[in-house]
Amino acid sequence: MKRTSPWSVAVATIIYLLLSSNVFAQQLATLKVTVTDPSGAVIPGATITLKNTETGAQRTDITESHGSSVIPGMPAGNYEMTAEAKGFSAVKMHVALSVGQIASLTVPLNISAREEVKVEETIQGIDTEKSEVSQVIDTPKINDLPISGRDFIDFVLLTPSVNVGRSTAVGAQSPFTETVLKLSFGGTRESHTSFFALDGTDYTTSISGVQRISPSQDWVQEFRVVDSPYSADTGRNLGSVVNTITKSGTNDVHGTAYEYFRNNNLDAKNSLSAPGFNTLRFNQFGATVGGPVRKEKNFYFLGYEGQRRAESPLYSSFILNNIGFINQVKQSLGLQPENLNSILTIDDYDKTIIKSNNILSNKTFLNITYLFNDSRKKNARGAAPGEGLPSSYRDNPVRDQTIYSNLIHVFNNNLTSETLLQYGKRNFNLEPKGLGFEPALGIPDLMSSGGFVGSVRFYQEQRFQAADNLTYIHGNHTFKFGGEFQPVWTKTQVTLFSPGFAIFAPASFFGVGPFAPFGPGTPVAFLFLQPRSFFGQQIPNRDPNFQDGLYAGPSQQAFNDSTSLDYKHTLFSTYLQDQWKVRPNLSLTLGVRYDVDKFPSASDIKIIGKFHPTNFGNVQPRASLAYSFHGGKGVIRAGAGLFTAPFVYSDIMVSWIGASEFTYMNNPNLPEFSNPSDNLIGFGASGAMGACTTNNPIIPGICFPWFPFLKQTFQNFVATISPAFVRAS
């Protein structure tokens, strides 16, 4: 397959931007102002001026015949609003706009025979026109609320119905050992269901479906959490939208410097650490500075944060109380013993932000931002908390960098646009070390050791995003038109069950109960990854020194080729939406959205047969309303619509090696089996295999995983002698 360079899409992008517009104006606020005279009658032709109190950026609008003005495309921040009309006293108000807000104000003007300006305090209540249920976490909350590790995304847990995800399969290894908090909204799975935006750009990892590296807490101005996104201008999610905006420079120079530290001398000893091994060293430090290059024209914001953390791993009481016998069983199988005091988990990183804000004119605003993160985790946990022996820990370096720009242009009082461009690159690695190259042993929910069970060896993801959003005001209608083009390039290596995985029941591991006749260390299953060309054949010999590599041996190249993927998929999105203010207290939002994810072909991902076809039928109508009562003190919100979730690209890895196909049974009642070549996924380049023998007393003549045979086969595999005959699971 000929791959397309990330830079070769630039020309096509420019053409696309001329034809469509984007979905990500949710970061910008809208201010709706109604001007009245002392009798309550509306005043048409009044001038509304908004001036940012920190940068001097200014927007002006004129109220229409119904006395209202709508000013869209406003960045979140503090503003001074002036309302004035001939024959009336001008009024100045302080207005604070938050990310994605639709603020509504009524400004009464008094009749005056002479020119005067009246300054009034603004009382802003709840959003009465947004049909979504959302919550804003603003700067005071971010600064004042204590949080462990100072990762601002933890504040999302303040939103009702949000929990830390718990449904990830295969411990902490699947979909990937990502370095961010995985969140579940309303009980949905924690990956591939939420959309994470940073300054309006897509900040979601395509392959794992979670947010990328979090910006420092000191770089974040505020963020909005939407847990019922019924509007058409949000897409590719089922559960929520988390929209974050970063800080910007202002007319005054501001900065911060900080260091936070903890150590084991300040903390109580954890009873789940290994005896005599209770270490904690934690230092987090950084600084920010922002100010003007030219006042009221050009601004900068710079930030750096570093962390140095080392601590003892924690083990369950099962491991702490049985480590001696666990090591005896490992040695009886030909594996090395574990030392619980042998590792410290290291979590070091350095990250920085460089941001430039520019007021090109009263109608054009340009922001350019560069984010860099270098995370250097060593001995990162590779199993569920407390279950992993030292050999299950991995080095987990991650380097993530993004450059993006936002261009806001006001064509006239009724038409505003926002254009977004982004290029991002992420390198993620999981590197086994020492005993981590040995075959894996697992007792479900109790113990895990050795090689890979449910993850990838590495992945690299590159993306280019181009998007534009248009907002048009006409009377009581606010029309939005959006579109996006986003190609994503992915390279990865799938190392599931590598170099092998022996599964035990507690009784079979310790050789007690019904397994007493077979002795300790008797697997109930033995799985391993095989290239497609080796299916049904003997297990290839391996290098007896497993630390030489996961696939070290004469077949290493075949294994590497059959576990590597390199593919591209492309996202297209567009929508049309109308927010209609039917009455002063009733707003209807009607829209339709269309998303297409052009999948890679079967040959692109080395499948013999067919892969999921691209779905071009993702038309998603949406409708919602907001009805306010008691003078705007209460709001009823309702909505309905069709939603298409993003494709779970981590499932390509799972189905590719055959795990997904375990769920397909040869059932003639299932319509998929009437023509399997057209309806089922084809064979990947490698697959999960299991050892079995026809010479067994359970089902003679049928290949069955007979326990003594599995034990001997695993011991032979470790010693790389006398390979066993295997069949696909």
The string of DSSP codes covering 468-516 is EEEEEEETTEEEEEEEEEEEEEEEEEE-TTBS-EEE--HHHHHT-GGGG
Q: Are residues 372 and 491 in the same domain?
A: yes
Strand ranges in 326-476 using DSSP code E only, listed in sequence order: 345-361, 364-380, 394-412, 415-429, 440-443, 447-449, 456-474
Q: Are residues 305 and 404 in the same domain?
A: yes
Residue 591 included in any domain: yes
- Neighbour-count burial of 266, counting CB atoms closer than 10 A to its CB (0-12 exposed, 13-18 middle, 19+ buried): exposed
Q: Are residues 709 and 569 in the same domain?
A: no
Cβ partners under 8 Å of residue 700, min gap 6: 694
CB atoms near residue 45 (< 10 Å): 12
Look at residue 406 and give its three-state secondary structure. Answer: strand
Q: Are residues 288 and 321 in the same domain?
A: yes
Q: Are residues 201 and 239 in the same domain?
A: yes
Report the C-alpha gap between 284 and 279 in whole angstroms.
Answer: 17
pLDDT in tens, 380-413: 888 888 899 999 999 999 999 999 999 999 998 8
What is the radius of gyration, based on Cα positions, of the chain?
30
Residue 127 included in any domain: no
**Residue-wise burial string across 636-646, b where 16 or more C-beta atoms lie within 10 A, e elsewhere:** ebebebebbbb
Q: Which residues pair with 288 in a beta bridge?
A: 256, 303
Q: What per-residue confidence (pLDDT) applies to 264?
A: 85
Q: Are residues 467 and 541 in the same domain?
A: no
Strand ranges in 279-326 using DSSP code E only, listed in sequence order: 280-294, 298-311
Q: What per-residue confidence (pLDDT) applies to 372?
A: 96
Q: What per-residue confidence (pLDDT) applies to 653?
A: 65
Residue 45 included in any domain: no
pLDDT in tens, 138-167: 888 888 877 777 887 788 888 887 877 654
Residue 118 included in any domain: no
Report in angstroms the alpha-carbon separations of 220 from 136, 150, 215, 304. 12, 12, 7, 13
> How many structural domains is the chain composed of?
2
Where the chain has pLDDT below 70, the residues are 1-26, 113-125, 165-177, 179, 239, 544, 652-682, 720-729
Q: What per-residue confidence (pLDDT) applies to 672?
A: 60
Q: Which residues pair with 437 in a beta bridge?
A: none
CA torsion, ordered 173, 177, 181, 182, to nearest 10 deg: -40
pTM of the model: 0.86
| Residue where a domain stops, chosen among 590, 620, 655 | 655
Q: Are residues 466 and 525 in the same domain?
A: no
| Preceding amide of 499 cis, omega within 30 | yes
Q: Which of 187, 192, 180 is nearest to 160 (CA)?
A: 187
Report the C-alpha gap between 51 and 312 in whole angstroms.
Answer: 53
Report the C-alpha gap between 72 and 415 in whole angstroms.
Answer: 9
Q: Are residues 485 and 607 in the same domain?
A: yes
Residue with tokens 């005091």: 341
Q: Are residues 511 and 485 in the same domain?
A: no
Report the C-alpha gap between 382 and 385 in whole angstroms.
Answer: 9
Q: What per-residue confidence (pLDDT) applies to 9?
A: 42
Q: For residue 508, what are its two tokens?
A: 């079979």
Residue 104 included in any domain: no
Question: How many Cα atoms sit within 13 Å of 130 on the Cβ side?
Answer: 24
Q: Is the CB of residue 503 less than 8 Å from the CB of residue 57? A: no
Q: Is the CB of residue 430 less than 8 Å from the CB of residue 489? A: no
Q: Which of 195, 174, 29 is nearest to 644 (CA)?
A: 195
Q: Are residues 603 and 578 in the same domain?
A: yes
Q: What per-residue confidence (pLDDT) applies to 655?
A: 59
Residue 88 included in any domain: no
Q: Which of 617, 573, 619 is nearest to 469 (CA)?
A: 573
Residue 398 included in any domain: yes
Residue with tokens 């697997």: 523
Look at residue 507 and give its three-state secondary structure. Answer: helix
Q: Is the CB of residue 381 less than 8 Å from the CB of residue 431? A: no
Residue type, 82: T
CB atoms near residue 686 (< 10 Å): 28
Residue 68 included in any domain: no
Q: Is the CB of residue 338 less than 8 Å from the CB of residue 447? A: no
- Report the relative pairing of strands 134-137 and 220-226 from DSSP bridges: antiparallel
| Residue where a domain stops, chosen among 609, 631, 655 | 655
Look at residue 656 and give its three-state secondary structure. Answer: helix
Q: Which residues pair with 243 in a beta bridge?
A: 197, 224
Q: Is the CB of residue 591 less than 8 Å from the CB of residue 577? A: yes
Report the C-alpha gap between 153 and 561 in whole angstroms.
Answer: 38
| Residue where a domain stops, chosen among 608, 624, 655 | 655
Report in angstroms the alpha-carbon separations of 409 from 40, 52, 101, 216, 416. 34, 16, 19, 29, 6
Report the C-alpha gap between 686 and 457 in whole angstroms.
Answer: 15
Q: What per-residue confidence (pLDDT) applies to 19?
A: 39
Q: Are residues 454 and 552 in the same domain?
A: no
Report the C-alpha gap between 92 and 108 in whole angstroms.
Answer: 11
Helix (H) or strand (E) run with residue 718 in it: helix 707-719
Q: What per-residue confidence (pLDDT) applies to 2?
A: 45
Report the C-alpha gap between 338 and 423 in whole angstroms.
Answer: 44
Q: Are residues 530 and 547 in the same domain?
A: yes
Q: Which residues pair with 49 in a beta bridge?
A: 60, 82
Report the C-alpha gap between 151 and 715 in whole angstroms.
Answer: 45
Residue 182: phi, psi to the nearest 5? -100, 125
Question: How many Cα atoms sit within 13 Å of 423 on the Cβ side?
Answer: 7
Q: Which of 158, 166, 197 is nearest to 183 (CA)?
A: 166
Cβ partners under 8 Å of residue 614, min gap 6: 596, 597, 598, 599
Q: Which domain holds residue 516?
A: 501-562+658-728
Write the CATH number for 248.
2.40.170
